[in-house]
Structure 1
Amino acid sequence: MDKLENLRTQFIAIQQKTRAGDIFQSIGEVLSDTLTQVKVQPKTPVQLPENGDDALAKMKAYSQRLDNHRSGDGLDMVSDADLHLAAAQLANPLPKYRDTGAFFFLSDVIQNDLLSDEQMRWLTSYLISDDVLFSHIFEPNNAAIYQRSFSILVLSLLLFKQRTKSAFMAPQQLAIVINQIALYVAIERDTRGFIGTNGWAHAFTHIGNAVAEVFMMPQLLRADKLFLLASMLAGYRELQQPLNMGETERLVEVTMYSANAHPLYHDYILLTLKLWRKDLVTRQPPQNEGRWHQMYNRARFFNAIILRGKDNVPEKIFNYVSETRDFLT
């Protein structure tokens, strides 16, 4: 984890410079220079969760009781042991344990107030821990993507809860959550959507959900939101695997939401799009599969902006993308 810790230290330093107003136009370049350190490491065995059937039986029984009550009223709170068992199944490659199992269960109990504030703080800390959110992240595509992807998805539910119902996170924990998300969205490289019989991984759609929740928190500093946006776009810029199952459209939706929210984000996004086009003008033509995917991912981003329509995209951004669209496709 020394490599991860080194990246985190550099990201925090960039965030502090962003807060201080020392950098703006160069945030993307500085982040990209930092991300050049992200090299693929050899694959190592992924430890998968056990007790899937036991966990699923308990989750189904509890969900049935919840359905019968139609609300959380009158139901016992989820025990710590059952919560821990369910959270561990987010790493299960099989969708019946992970997706329709653990994720559906955690979504239900979070939304129906069946976790205490202390349990939600524990769940948040568990999901953002290095061993969970960054599990095997520097390695080629592997089974750990399910844990990473569904951790960021459940984090989006917890952020929604924090924003709309119960501010269970103290400012210090929320700051750590945002820092971990910013680092994760920049270094995730597994772009797979639906994977054979294992169902959805869809990490980049889930990334969009988490970033959207952060942007809707009015009390957060604009500089921190800008840094998160810059991290997401810097990570997207570096992708050398294709995004072709709706992920780009979700990321563009979040990006345009931020562009419409404040001129600060609008100006940064426009600068980033110009930087991406400059890359294609100044760099040599792609010579390998990864670089071709990189180019076409950016083309998809521009096309997705156009498809949102001029009424949903700030005028300067829409005009710029329209003018350069033919060059990118």
Structure 2
Amino acid sequence: MDSQVETTIKKIRDLRRQLHQGKVFRSLPNDLRQIITAVEPAAPTPVTLPDDDAAALAKIGEIEERLKAEKAMQVSDSELRYLIGHLASTSPAVRDKGVFFLLSDLFQADAFTEKQVAWLFTTLQRKDILFAHITEPQNDAVFLRSFAVMLLSGLVYADLNRYHLLTPRQFENLLVNLCAYITLEKDGRGYVAEKGWAHAYTHIGNLADELSQVPSLTRGDKLLLMATVVEGWQTVADSLVFGEDQRVSSYLVNLATKNQFYADALVMCLTAWQQRLRNLKPQEDLAFWTRWYNRSRLLEALLMRADLPKVVVDYLQKIIDAY
């Protein structure tokens, strides 16, 4: 694993501690920016992928048929390991419509044991899953990374509403890992031809939204995550045109409406973004214009929300000519 992953996690953890101690606040967006820009692209390495699509589809079908016949749905530990192992598949039939749909049904049915919930929570955050090949050029490991994030959002929802097994410390560690994931993830592809949805930023929005519901996470934690999402969005060089703007704006507004503190914090994050643009000159560069219009789409999606707090509306209207 790239040592930059561990370094980034440590930096995020240190920044979180400083935020809690009151040593940083308004500098938070720029502190996060420094962490993001410090990451160097790593050399590509081979991505190991499942190569048994037909067998996997048959196995998933067998599990589904058995579950339909059971009064109380349950899945064995070996079956669960098999399913998680096939999150890496580049076949949308296996990964998305197969593994993800099946695991989502199992969440809804309260089918997991306490041991399995703990195993899922730990396994989906393993460095070789959540951060697989993340500092390398665009690669097929994005499907594994992104769907791990999506499943973690389902797991957090299920725990808050049904299981009640995860501890405050576990939620804190997940928040740090998600912030590190966002600072490192540069693959913003939405739908990938013949491979289906990658959709990292949609899944980021889902998990961030669920973590904003966790009572044990402090305001500082939720501020850190909000700022990281806004900063991460700015660095993606892929066109975020597959609904990511709506999902992320929904998360930001949902949080901003919880308390005036978060509304003011969102303005702070947007102000830091705006200040970077003051002396920015247009470039004849695809990445520049992609990021520019990604920004426009996100700000427009925010303004489309009728429940956007007035302080944010007022700020966006003030800078509207700049985008």
* TM-score for the superposition, normalised by structure 2: 0.95
Counterpart AA for 1:263: Q
1:66 shift after superposition: 3.2
- Whether the aligned pair in 1 keeps the contact of 2:171 and 2:217 (CA below 8 Å) is no
Counterpart CA distance in 1 for 2:245 and 2:184 is 16
Distance 1:123 1:51, change over 3 A: farther
Describe the shift of the 1:290–1:297 C-alpha distance in structure 2 as closer, same or farther (beyond 3 A). same
- What are the within-5 Å matches in structure 2 for residues 31-180 of structure 1? 31-68=32-69, 73-75=71-73, 77-180=74-177
Alpha-carbon distance in 2 for matches of 1:205, 1:259: 18
C-alpha contact (below 8 Å) 1:303/1:325 kept by paired residues: no
Task: Verify: 1:230 aligned to 2:231, yes or no.
Answer: no
Shift of 1:157: 0.5
Query: For the residues of structure 1 that align with 2:59 and 2:288, how far apart are their CA atoms?
Result: 46
Match of 1:23 in 2: 24
> Structure 1 residue 182: deviation in Å?
1.4
Q: Relative to structure 2, which stretch is displaced further, 264-273 or 90-99? A: 264-273
2:253 maps to 256
Partner Cα separation in structure 2 for residue 280 and residue 30 of structure 1: 17
Query: Contact between 2:89 and 2:95, CA under 8 Å: does it hold in 1?
Result: yes
**Matches of 1:121 and 1:53 in 2, distance apart?**
30
Runs of 4+ residues over 4 Å off in structure 1: none
**How many residues align structurally?**
322
Q: Does 1:245 align with 2:242?
A: yes
Q: Pick from 181, 186, 205: which aligns with 1:184?
A: 181
Q: What residue is the counterpart of 1:322 in the other structure?
A: 317
User: Retained in 1: the 8 A contact 2:172–2:217?
Assistant: no
Name stretches of at least 5 consecutive residues in structure 2 with no aligned partner: none
Q: Distance in 2 between matches of 1:124 and 1:201?
A: 21
Checking the alignment, whether the CA contact within 8 Å between 2:168 and 2:217 is kept in structure 1 is: no
Secondary structure of the residue aligned to 1:197 is coil
RMSD between aligned residues: 1.6
Q: Is the 8 A contact 1:153 1:209 kept in 2?
A: yes
Whether contact under 8 Å (2:35, 2:183) holds in the other structure is no
Q: Deviations over 1:218-248 (max 9, x none)?
A: 2321111111111111111222222111101
Distance 1:74 1:138 in 2: 42
Pick which of 40-49 and 80-89 moved more: 40-49
Q: Could you tell me how far apart the structure 1 residues matched to 2:39 and 2:321 are?
A: 32
Aligned to 1:205: 202
Cα offsets for 1:130-165 (capped at 9, x unmatched):
100111111121111100111100000100011111
Q: Aligned equivalents of 1:319 and 1:34: distance in 2?
A: 30
Query: C-alpha displacement at 1:257, in angstroms?
Result: 0.8
Do the aligned residues in 2 keep the contact of 1:78 with 1:115 (CA within 8 Å)? yes
Hey, what does 2:308 align to over in structure 1?
A: 313
Letter aligned with residue 251 of structure 1: V
Deviation of 1:276 (Å) = 1.6
Secondary structure of the residue that 1:219 maps to in structure 2? Answer: coil
For 2:46, what is the secondary structure of its paired residue? coil
Task: Read off the aligned partner of 1:12 and give its amino acid letter.
Answer: R
Tell me, what secondary structure is at the counterpart of 1:282?
coil
CA distance in 1, matches of 2:301, 2:67: 40
Matched residue type, 1:47: T
Counterpart in the other structure of 2:268: 271
3-state SS of the aligned residue for 1:128? coil
- Normalising by structure 1, we get a TM-score of 0.93
**Among 273, 282, 285, the residue aligned to 1:285:** 282
